[in-house]
Amino acid sequence: MNQPRTDNYDALGRWPGALMNTYAPALDLVSGDGAEVTAADGTVYLDLLAGIAVNSLGHAHPAVIGAVEQQIRRFAHVSNLFASRPVVEVAEKLKERFAHGDAVVAESTRVFFCNSGAEANEAAFKLARLTGKRRVLAAEHGFHGRTMGSLALTGQPDKRTAFEPLPGGVEFFPYGDIDYLRKLVGVNPTDTAAIILEPIQGETGVIPAPDGYLAAVRELCDEHGILFIVDEVQTGVGRTGDFFAHAHEGILPDVVTMAKGLGAGLPIGACLAHGRAASLFGVGSHGTTFGGNPVACAAALAVLDTIDEDFIADVRAKGEHFTAAMKAVDGVDEVRGRGLMLGLVLDEPVAKKAVTVGLGHGLILNAPSDSVIRITPPLVITTEQLDDAARRIGAVLAETRAQARTATQNNEG
């Protein structure tokens, strides 16, 4: 249930004096229910970000609460020096989802659990190194995390430059350009270990791969014995209207990384590999203290049990419904993406201002670029809430564009 804070604790005001200056939070949130969150002052917001695509089942979902409470009463942590049931069960369910019904693929798939998407991509990077080859090819504008290894794979110089030198051997290619990628591989195909990309680039502005692109990359990797790593950290767990976004093209990667929506708010990441990639790690070659935490895995089990094929079909339908509604909104030039991972491409560069204005309309929005509003709400959001969101976004854009015009006139005057 959404409830405001009843004491006078000022988390927002005390934040700068207690935490490093890596974020500038906009609100002091105290509770949530489904697709809504409540701030300390009692204001209720419709959450169209879901903790950056993390809260797949929204806030305070009873299945997650029940699973976590039951597990934490048993034990919270034992380390990977011991086996526990929730860890094995989640791994087995992920193997089934990854294999898309192919029993041979499921049998040859193995899972490494960690705590985040960045760590999942670190694991994938290390798998690539264990092939004995040095080159890893990554997409320009891609985002794979902020640890030193995952940052080395991230094709955004503004995030990388301050931390160089980063781990070497990574080269970048234009996202979606298969001809360029073929030529890049051809420079040294025998030393190319892996190609990594996102099926939809999220942090750049929700940019889907062109139709047929993933299949062409799969063919290229097969031709040269290259690992195909697909980063499903943001796109996975039903977010795009398929459990994995790569299923949209019917391809099977060698390695998939995931996190975010898998834990419904609890920190968990996973690196899945099949075939030869699944046997590259040996005992002692990689590890994690907290990865595969039983409580986080209990939450993941609740997610996997809830997000079945009917649930995912509903995500697709809600995405199509909201896309149609937003295409009719003045100021929206294009709607990109699939399911409930959408980018509203604006006809003016006012997206970041719209995020601020949106708070005044009871909306939590996000702008990965000046002209794109990213929509990644809880997957449990209702059609009625999406209709309400479309109306409010229309009002936000009208107000934001009016403010921009006024500012331009004042500057010219």
Element (H, E) at 194: strand 192-197
Residue 232 labelled as part of a binding site = yes
3-state secondary structure of 282: coil
Cβ-based neighbours of 244, under 8 Å, separated by 6 or more: 97, 98, 230, 232, 235, 236, 256
Residue 182 labelled as part of a binding site = no
Query: Smallest Cα–Cα separation from 249: which of 212, 198, 217?
Result: 212
Query: Smallest Cα–Cα separation from 385: which of 93, 40, 59?
Result: 59
Asked if 115 and 257 count as a contact pair (C-beta separation under 8 A), the reply is no
Element (H, E) at 303: helix 294-306
Residue 228 labelled as part of a binding site = no
Residue 117 labelled as part of a binding site = yes
Residue 399 labelled as part of a binding site = no
How many whole angstroms separate alpha carbon 137 and alpha carbon 316? 31
Residue 234 labelled as part of a binding site = yes
Residue 289 labelled as part of a binding site = yes
Asked if 369 and 351 count as a contact pair (C-beta separation under 8 A), the reply is yes
Cis peptide before 165 (omega within 30 of 0): yes
Query: Smallest Cα–Cα separation from 312: which of 342, 339, 337, 335?
Result: 339
Q: What Cα–Cα distance (Å) separates residue 378 from each residue in 76, 169, 228, 267?
A: 26, 37, 29, 16
Residues marked as binding for N(2)-acetyl-L-ornithine?
A: 146, 288
Residues marked as binding for pyridoxal 5'-phosphate?
A: 117-118, 143, 231-234, 289
Residues marked as binding?
A: 117-118, 143, 146, 231-234, 288-289
